[in-house]
């Protein structure tokens, strides 16, 4: 199978390319990137006025399988991902059973082999059952193929245990991903603590519940020289703490999610539970700090934190509704709309945030369009406008924070491992 993509604007930050070019894919690899490739390919894609970029690498995705197949499955999540331009996901380990043993990882690997439409990588847990009491067997997890560790959904509260975890992870060269939340400080809150939580009569979650845990984890990363990645950064003080850690030369990286730069706690005024996630939508001041962090390089990665929940878990009283929103199908378009169309960031920078940087953080040989690499790439119509509609969502769950929103930028083709896995 060969695919020739003609006359697209190829944006490949890894190779400092931004030019009108053709790309030839042969088998599962990129065979040529050049002007006017004159080879008869089986499949020719006209990419005039379109952008060709490396596929999105989304390092924070809840697939829900095994255990919550009513929310989402590997098949439905990866189909949704492909339609959103995502070619690789890192599956978070808060499944049932959790990814805390090699045996459980093998179970998920079997499901992935059967039903995944794109690359799925697995994150193991830091502690057994994510209970924060006893460390998982990192060596066995690594052997079974996990590429990172996280108790996402929870933080390891015990400082000594977290120190030990980072030491072990560092000796095995495994990345640790931190869900930074002090549950005592979060105090059963359901939205951001501030004027809006007072107005709505809902319990608030302070910025401190996030940034104090970020500060602790950074201190431990500095002590252990371990690679640490802070997940879903939402507030200004976290951005500041991470900037300081980077200045120290510590191996600290971080991500934010599209809802943290596109929305604020003003969006909660209608008690819409599709605006409920953890960490919560913050104030406009925090949103500005997140945007600044994306611009000046403190924030390395945009990831969706795709967290599907069924209608009966979401379409209920705000306080009882589950935390989390889906994001695989909208992360690219929300990034284009909020960051590029607004003039804040360049295409190159957004592609770095969505593809090259997550590849680097995870140590993957991906995120570029170099000749000889596996062909994971996307073709985008940068000016196509569309509206997010519930009945068009591919994900099994429809808990999207952008329902009804008009977005710009749409995926025409997603090619993964040299195969067309999505076509508009």
- Contacts with Zn ion by CB under 5 A lie at 152, 179
In terms of CB distance, is 278 or 355 closer to ligand DOR?
278
Residue 306 as a binder of ligand DOR (CB under 6 A): the answer is: no
Q: Measured between alpha carbons, how far apart are the two ends of the chain, in Å?
A: 20
- Asked if 359 contacts 352 with a C-beta cutoff of 8 angstroms, the reply is no
Residue 152 as a binder of ligand DOR (CB under 6 A): the answer is: yes
Nearest distance, CB of residue 394 and ligand DOR, angstroms: 19
Q: Which H helix or E strand runs over 331?
A: helix 331-335
Partner whose footprint covers residue 210, from Zn ion, ligand DOR, none (CB < 5 to 8 Å by kind): none
Residue 62: name the closest of 14, 123, 136 by CA.
Answer: 123
- Tally Cβ neighbours within 10 Å of residue 249: 9
- Asked if 410 contacts 386 with a C-beta cutoff of 8 angstroms, the reply is yes
Task: Please list every residue from 347 through 406 that binds ligand DOR, using CB under 6 A.
Answer: none
Work out which of 323, 341, 403, 408 binds ligand DOR, going by CB under 6 A: 323
Tokens encoding 211? 């940034």
- Asked if 360 contacts 59 with a C-beta cutoff of 8 angstroms, the reply is no
CA–CA separation, 39 vs 42, rounded Å?
10
Residue 60 as a binder of ligand DOR (CB under 6 A): the answer is: no
Partner whose footprint covers residue 277, from ligand DOR, Zn ion, none (CB < 5 to 8 Å by kind): ligand DOR
For this structure, is 305 an active site residue?
yes
Nearest distance, CB of residue 378 and ligand DOR, angstroms: 26
Nearest distance, CB of residue 343 and ligand DOR, angstroms: 30
Residues with Cβ < 8 Å from 349, sequence gap 6 or more?
Answer: 13, 294, 295, 339
Residue 331: name the closest of 154, 116, 89, 122 by CA.
Answer: 89
Active-site entry in 22, 305, 376, 412: 305
Nearest distance, CB of residue 323 and ligand DOR, angstroms: 4
Residue 412 as a binder of ligand DOR (CB under 6 A): the answer is: no
Nearest distance, CB of residue 99 and ligand DOR, angstroms: 13
- Asked if 403 contacts 388 with a C-beta cutoff of 8 angstroms, the reply is yes
Partner whose footprint covers residue 323, from ligand DOR, Zn ion, none (CB < 5 to 8 Å by kind): ligand DOR
Active-site residue set:
305
Binding site residues, ligand DOR, CB under 6 A: 62, 94, 152-153, 179, 277-278, 307, 323-324
């Amino acid at each position: 199978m060969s695919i020739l993509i003609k006359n697209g604007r190829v944006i490949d930050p890894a190779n400092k390319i931004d030019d009108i070019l053709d790309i030839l894919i042969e088998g599962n690899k990129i065979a040529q990137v050049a002007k006017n490739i004159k080879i008869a390919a089986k499949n020719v894609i006209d990419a005039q006025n379109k952008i060709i970029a490396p596929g999105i690498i989304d390092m924070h995705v809840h697939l829900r399988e095994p255990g919550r197949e009513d929310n989402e499955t590997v098949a439905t999540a990866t189909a949704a991902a492909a339609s959103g331009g995502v070619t690789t996901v890192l599956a978070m380990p808060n499944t049932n059973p959790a990814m805390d043993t090699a045996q459980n990882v093998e179970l998920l690997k079997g499901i992935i082999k059967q039903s995944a439409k794109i690359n799925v990588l697995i994150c193991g847990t830091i502690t057994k059952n994510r209970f924060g009491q006893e460390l998982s067997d990192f060596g066995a997890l690594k052997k079974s193929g996990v590429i990172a560790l996280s108790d996402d959904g929870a933080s390891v509260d015990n400082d000594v245990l977290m120190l030990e975890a980072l030491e072990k992870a560092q000796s095995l060269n495994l990345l640790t991903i931190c869900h930074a939340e002090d549950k005592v400080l979060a105090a059963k809150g359901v939205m951001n603590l501030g004027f809006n939580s007072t107005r709505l009569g809902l319990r608030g979650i302070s910025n401190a519940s996030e940034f104090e845990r970020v500060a602790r984890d950074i201190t431990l990363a500095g002590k252990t020289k371990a690679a640490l990645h802070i997940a879903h950064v939402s507030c200004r003080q976290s951005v500041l703490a991470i900037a300081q850690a980077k200045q120290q030369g510590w191996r600290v990286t971080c991500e934010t999610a599209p809802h943290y730069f596109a929305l604020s706690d003003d969006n909660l005024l209608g008690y819409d539970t599709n605006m409920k996630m953890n960490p919560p939508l913050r104030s406009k001041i925090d949103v500005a700090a997140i945007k600044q962090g994306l611009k000046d390089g403190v924030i390395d990665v945009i990831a969706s934190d795709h967290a599907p929940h069924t209608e009966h878990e979401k379409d209920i009283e705000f306080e009882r509704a589950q935390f989390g929103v889906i994001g695989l199908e909208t992360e690219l378009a929300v990034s284009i709309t909020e960051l590029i169309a607004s003039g804040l960031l360049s295409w190159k920078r957004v592609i770095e945030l969505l593809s090259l940087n997550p590849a680097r953080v995870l140590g993957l040989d991906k995120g570029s369009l170099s000749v000889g690499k596996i062909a994971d790439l996307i073709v985008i119509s940068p000016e196509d406008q569309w509206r997010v509609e519930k009945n068009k969502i591919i994900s099994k769950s429809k808990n999207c924070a952008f329902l009804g929103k008009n977005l710009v930028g749409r995926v025409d083709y997603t090619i993964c491992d040299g195969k067309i896995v999505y076509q508009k």
